[in-house]
Structure 1
């Protein structure tokens, strides 16, 4: 690991019992975090820069999603009271606000379509191209602001070259003018090994820049959330070719990787989560905490039944995960059903007991 810690940091001293939280305008952070602590949660990944580019604090470079409130600061204060680790989540290249200011920075598919909603992009997302200096400068300014808060880490998510998938057709990005000019200057041919390497190095360089301010803080978690592929034998090659992400490279400066193991969306058995954890651990030699989706977002809503949620958590731990993170629809913790919360609380209590009985996770 890049930090070279001699003392176990907090994420190695306990198994993570985490949820992803999307703040809201009327929330009472102390009330909500007290409830989460009572439910056995010891870590929250709190959306701090969301997909439209807005943030949940008073920023000098991005609009505040909830003007007049510093929700990140309020959540950090409440987390300290309730002994919960708080990790801001940054949607890296999803940024509607930035694209409104600099429309030329939008990612473009090979056939010319801009990767932004409502053209093709799911979840109302707008994707910026990292080949533009203004994109990395804007993102660095945001992470520098977050570094001033009393938080326990940072999570980077949605930082890939986003493809268009339309039925059997699939178009890669980015083919914006800047990227095409760079390829022409370097003599890189479309979708060649050199083209794939160039994109992977570009994403890798961006994440290195964004994580660099935190490497001198030994108890500060750098977490990177990854897309996953159902075919684990070709996962790394597919990730490199389609997304411009080499999981092995970015793992070098991450303290933890979080694969998005939304098995319910892929109609996979929960055993797939175990195999994803094992595969990533083997390929990257990095602690893994999978994000487990608790329901399918489309209507009619399809929630995980109690036994399937238990199986998903257990199989993740059997695969060697250093904890689990639950992701509900829209990161809205209120969309976990009462039964799901009962199940999650029981499982988190068991994990907590295991930690107390057998000592720090890093020694097991």
Structure 2
């Protein structure tokens, strides 16, 4: 809530870009909007952050929780994603937070989201990040219940004679998400100095990751890459009990299959209490392995996706890494040219 002081602190730690949650998972926003409620009433925090970012030479990229939107579902309850057995996906068991998932099959959903992104386009920001835009599955022990079986989706399946979980069923879901992201990125497509970032789920089995994403989430990672300048896989190896080398392999695999620059998101700790933080050696390994895999950078996040909660020791480690990378870039040129 103190943009200038916060960005000064981040700049002093070597950060050059921040992803700022601008449309929350509950649908509220952090600026004066005509289409969504303002999270910080009486303040335009996005405008304040943009002003502070210009002073401290930091790029600011608003993050949009796309289909997570409690506010929208309160206005249009029929647009909620529905699991196969009829469960409306509004529950905390879907995520650590209370998520309310809207279905992109409804015109009002894409219209509302386009209105939000058009408002953000009027601010002096350097990019936009789209996250949480999937058809959301619910895990139930060993079974997964996929969405969406809302009335609108069922009507379209019946109209097109599409059988459940067939290749046509999967294709239709992927095309629905692809169409949504294409519409949302359209206001920024002609801005050469503007970053469009898409955050993706990462899968432990890299050989089936593309197919798994299509079947489970309705997201064709190769297709949505067409609208992204950079892809950000959520490589939360600490949550999956994976070695940091997995991050390197995710980066390599996604680069090869999408031909798009990759900046993986590295989780620096679990949110449970007591907090479980990465040791310095493991954080260094995670960053180095990501870059060794060809990443164009790394994004660091902690519990609550709040970079401000990194420990001072983690900041020192990360800052040292950034300084070393700057040195090698100055001496030998950017890594991408070597």
State if a TM-score over 0.5 links the two structures: yes
How do 1:117-136 and structure 2 match up within 5 A?
A: 117-118=91-92, 120-136=94-110
- How big is each residue's C-alpha offset from its partner over 1:211-259, in whole Å with a ceiling of 9 and x where there is no partner? 0110110000010000010000000000000000000001112111000
1:75 aligns with 2:46: no
How do 1:352-363 and structure 2 match up within 5 A?
A: 352-363=326-337
TM-superposed deviation, 1:338? 1.1
Map of 1:150 onto structure 2: 124
TM-superposed deviation, 1:334? 3.1
Number of corresponding residues: 338
Task: Name the CA distance, whole Å, in 2 between partners of 1:120 and 1:159.
Answer: 14
Q: Pick from 209, 227, 235: which aligns with 1:261?
A: 235
How do 1:28-177 and structure 2 match up within 5 A?
A: 28-118=2-92, 120-177=94-151
Is the alpha carbon distance of 1:229 and 1:80 closer, same or farther for their aligned partners in structure 2, counting shifts above 3 Å? same
Task: Name the CA distance, whole Å, in 2 between partners of 1:57 and 1:356.
Answer: 38
Task: Name the CA distance, whole Å, in 2 between partners of 1:155 and 1:251.
Answer: 13
- How big is each residue's C-alpha offset from its partner over 1:50-100, in whole Å with a ceiling of 9 and x where there is no partner? 101011101000011101111111111111111111100000000011011
Q: Which has the higher contact order (CA 8 A, sep 6+)?
A: 1
Deviates more, 1:76-85 or 1:271-280: 76-85
> SS of the residue aligned with 2:207?
coil
Task: Name the CA distance, whole Å, in 2 between partners of 1:362 and 1:345.
Answer: 21
- How big is each residue's C-alpha offset from its partner over 1:115-154, in whole Å with a ceiling of 9 and x where there is no partner? 1124655411110000000000000000000000000000
Task: Name the CA distance, whole Å, in 1 between partners of 2:334 and 2:209.
Answer: 31
Task: Name the CA distance, whole Å, in 2 between partners of 1:78 and 1:119.
Answer: 37
Check whether the contact 1:211–1:222 (CA below 8 A) recurs between aligned residues: yes
| RMSD value, Cα | 1.1
Is the alpha carbon distance of 1:119 and 1:113 closer, same or farther for their aligned partners in structure 2, counting shifts above 3 Å? farther
1:327 aligns with 2:301: yes
Check whether the contact 1:280–1:288 (CA below 8 A) recurs between aligned residues: yes
Task: Name the CA distance, whole Å, in 2 between partners of 1:127 and 1:339.
Answer: 37
TM-superposed deviation, 1:328? 1.2
> SS of the residue aligned with 1:45?
strand
Map of 1:304 onto structure 2: 278
Task: Name the CA distance, whole Å, in 2 between partners of 1:350 and 1:135.
Answer: 45
Is the alpha carbon distance of 1:118 and 1:232 closer, same or farther for their aligned partners in structure 2, counting shifts above 3 Å? closer
Q: TM-score, with normalisation over the residues of structure 2? A: 0.98
Q: TM-score, with normalisation over the residues of structure 1? A: 0.91
> SS of the residue aligned with 1:48?
strand
Task: Name the CA distance, whole Å, in 2 between partners of 1:152 and 1:361.
Answer: 22
Is the alpha carbon distance of 1:40 and 1:216 closer, same or farther for their aligned partners in structure 2, counting shifts above 3 Å? same
TM-superposed deviation, 1:354? 2.4
TM-superposed deviation, 1:353? 1.9
> SS of the residue aligned with 1:234?
helix
Is the alpha carbon distance of 1:90 and 1:57 closer, same or farther for their aligned partners in structure 2, counting shifts above 3 Å? same
Task: Name the CA distance, whole Å, in 1 between partners of 2:136 and 2:217.
Answer: 6
5+ unaligned residues in a row in structure 2: which ranges?
A: none
TM-superposed deviation, 1:360? 4.2
Is the alpha carbon distance of 1:120 and 1:273 closer, same or farther for their aligned partners in structure 2, counting shifts above 3 Å? closer
Q: Pick from 183, 190, 194: which aligns with 1:220?
A: 194
Check whether the contact 1:47–1:90 (CA below 8 A) recurs between aligned residues: yes
Task: Name the CA distance, whole Å, in 2 between partners of 1:95 and 1:135.
Answer: 9
> SS of the residue aligned with 2:266?
strand
Deviates more, 1:160-169 or 1:293-302: 293-302
TM-superposed deviation, 1:166? 1.5
1:336 aligns with 2:310: yes
Task: Name the CA distance, whole Å, in 2 between partners of 1:319 and 1:309.
Answer: 15
